[in-house]
Amino acid sequence: MKVLVAVKRTIDANVKVRVKADGTGVETANVKMAMNPFCEIAIEEAVRLREANIASEVIAVSAGPQAVQETLRSALAIGADRAIHVVTDVALQPLAIAKLLRAIAAKEQPKLIILGKQAIDDDNNQTGQMLAALLDWPQATFASKLKIEGDDAEVTREVDGGLETIAIKLPAIVTTDLRLNEPRYASLPNIMKAKKKTIDTLKPEDLGVDVTPRLNVLKVEEPARRKGGVKVADVAELVSKLRSEAKVIG
């Protein structure tokens, strides 16, 4: 079976983001970019399925400007077989991405689509669920364990208060949580090999998808900053402050 994996290029998770002074967004010029960490987990899971002879082909998909091809190359270096780049300069929102992925799924006919549960830039946590709705497929979100047997999958999900296991029929959508796997580092030979793999390009118009944003971002600001307080000398002073000054215990 084919497995489709959606990947997003985001600011590197280790970079401290800075809000632009004019309030239009965050500074991305000369900032290190990388694959969204949850998407890396998604690619890793798909490649492991191919290595276990459950998947026959892993296709990485991304949408955005030319630069997202770097992210697709990273996916190919981890082990995806080929990639699809939907080229657009529009700032894509989850519903538009879900529609692009639905159109690609119609062409590629994957049995499984794996996505990260959220991207660490917009923190939306929507695209996988939306894609599942548009395809009328089951969704196993926030997955920490995935077991596939034939056309059935059993997925353990990280939910508030613990874990939940659901059974779903393929084709299906899975979104990854942190503990699903630990992505490998791409080896140098695999990075070289990835340069030769195919990246097909498409435009949203080719897929018949309207990607016009549904939300206007009016402004972006820094959060209210919390001020540091005082250092206490010992446990006795701490307890006394919490009791009589902060009045949160007692």
Partner 1 sequence: MSALVIAEHDNKSLKRATLHAVTAAKALGGEVDLLVAGAGAQGVAAQAAKVAGVRKVLHADDPAYGHGLAENMAPLAVGLAGGYTHLLATATTFGKNLMPRIAALLDVAQISEISQIISPDTFVRPTYAGNAMATVQSLDAKRVITVRATAFEPAAADGGNATIEAASGAGDKGLSRFVKAELANTGRPELTSARIIVSGGRGMQSGENFKLIEAIADRLGAGVGASRAAVDAGFVPNDYQVGQTGKVVAPDLYVAVGISGAIQHLAGMKDSKVIVAINKDAEAPIFQVADYGLVADLFKALPELAAELDKQGLSKNKPSS
Does 180 interact with partner 1 (rule: CB under 8 A)?
no
Q: Would you count residue 222 as binding partner 1 (CB under 8 A)?
A: yes
| 106 in contact with partner 1 (CB under 8 A) | no
Q: Which stretch binds partner 1 (CB under 8 A): 41-49, 62-70, 77-85, 136-144?
A: 136-144
- Does 123 participate in binding partner 1 (rule CB under 8 A)? yes
Q: Are 184 and 68 in contact (CB under 8 A)?
A: no
Least distance between partner 1 and beta carbon 82 (Å)? 27
Residue among 132, 78, 109 at smallest CA distance from 3: 109
Among 22, 32, 93, 174, binds partner 1 (CB under 8 A): 93
Q: Cβ contacts of residue 116 below 8 Å, gap of 6+?
A: 6, 7, 8, 36, 37, 38, 39, 40, 41, 42, 175, 176
What CA–CA distances, in Å, run from 212 to 9, 24, 50?
20, 18, 36
Stretch that binds partner 1, among 9-17, 61-69, 72-80, 105-113 (CB under 8 A): 9-17
Q: Which residues 137-166 are close enough to bind partner 1 by CB under 8 A?
A: 137-142, 144, 154, 157-166
Span interacting with partner 1, options 69-77, 107-115, 183-191, 241-249, rule CB under 8 A: 241-249
User: 11, 101, 104, 174: which one contacts partner 1 (CB under 8 A)?
Assistant: 11
Of 42-50, 60-68, 107-115, 224-232: span binding partner 1 (CB under 8 A) = 224-232
Residues 6+ apart with CB under 8 A from 9: 33, 34, 35, 36, 62, 64, 67, 68, 70, 71
Contact indicator for 71, 6 with CB cutoff of 8 Å:
no
